[in-house]
A = this chain, B = another copy of it.
Amino acid sequence: MVGTAETTAAPAAAPPGLRERKKRRTRDTLVRAALELFTERGYERTTVDDIAAAADVSQRTFFRYFASKEEAAFFVGRLAESRFVEAVRGRPPEEAPLDALRRALAESWDGIAEAVERVVPLDLHLRFYQVIESTPALLAAHLRRSAELEERIARVVAEREGLDVDTDPRPRVVVAVFGAVVRVTERIWSVGGDASLAALREATAAHLDQVEPALTGDWRTD
């Protein structure tokens, strides 16, 4: 069952039966309970038993929905990622790669917020980033997931440009640069006082503007 959620949703969605609805409810309850406990008490100090108890299921059931404690933590993040990948796919092919990534992100925010809200309060999701940044185990998992996401996007970019990712390093390089900036932003934003989506959005745009000047390196001429 793990991983077979609606990420692999059928094209023609038949009205889900009771069984399916119940499953979704359980899953969402688990995710929400997990995020609430994590943000209140911390990731490490929350046991899977705690989460299961809060959702009123057995520990074994928790692991039938999520392959690991970590996976539950990032379930919501996954929704956001899919949105972004789709946005990149939808960009007109004549845009330069870095531009396309940038605009895709800019136009994704609202859709992401909406998708997140369908499972947990947006605010909870945003506050959870602070937990990620301050928990080594979670940060590690987050970075690995980001790397995987970058790989997916690099393939999309390569396809747009008619290149082979395994021959030409440029797609991976641009995407890596883009991802690096986004992560620096997340980090700075998460320790800053304003945990709002608007603040994240603006900080991202601002930092992306810094890439060119930062690389040319005449920092002392301003």
- Please give the residue numbers on chain A whose beta carbons come within 8 Å of chain B beta carbons, in ascending order: 96-99, 136, 139-141, 143-144, 147, 161-163, 169-170, 172-174, 176-177, 179-181, 183-185, 187-188, 206-207, 210-220
Contact = CB atoms under 8 A, between A and B. Distances in A.
Contacts of A212: 215
Contacts of A99: 217
Nearest to A147: B143
A143 B183 CA distance: 12
B169 A210 contact: yes
Contact of A140 (B143, B162, B218, B219): B143
B180 A97 contact: no
Q: Does more than half of chain A's interface fall in helix, strand or loop, or is it mixed? A: helix
A211 B219 contact: no
Given A144-B136, A147-B143, A217 B177 contact: no
Contact of A184 (B144, B176, B181, B207): B176
Given A180-B179, A180-B180, A184-B176, A219 B143 contact: no
Given A140-B143, A172-B184, 15 more contacts: A96-B216, A97-B219, A98-B217, A139-B147, A140-B140, A143-B143, A161-B219, A169-B206, A169-B207, A169-B210, A169-B214, A174-B217, A176-B180, A177-B181, A211-B215
A190 to B, nearest CB: 13
17 contacts: A98-B215, A136-B144, A139-B147, A143-B144, A147-B183, A169-B210, A170-B210, A170-B213, A173-B180, A173-B207, A173-B210, A173-B211, A176-B180, A176-B184, A177-B177, A177-B215, A215-B215
Nearest to A217: B96
Contacts of A170: 210, 213-214, 219
Nearest to A100: B217
Contacts of A216: 96
A161 B215 contact: no
B169 A188 contact: yes
Contacts of A98: 215, 217
A86 to B, nearest CB: 22
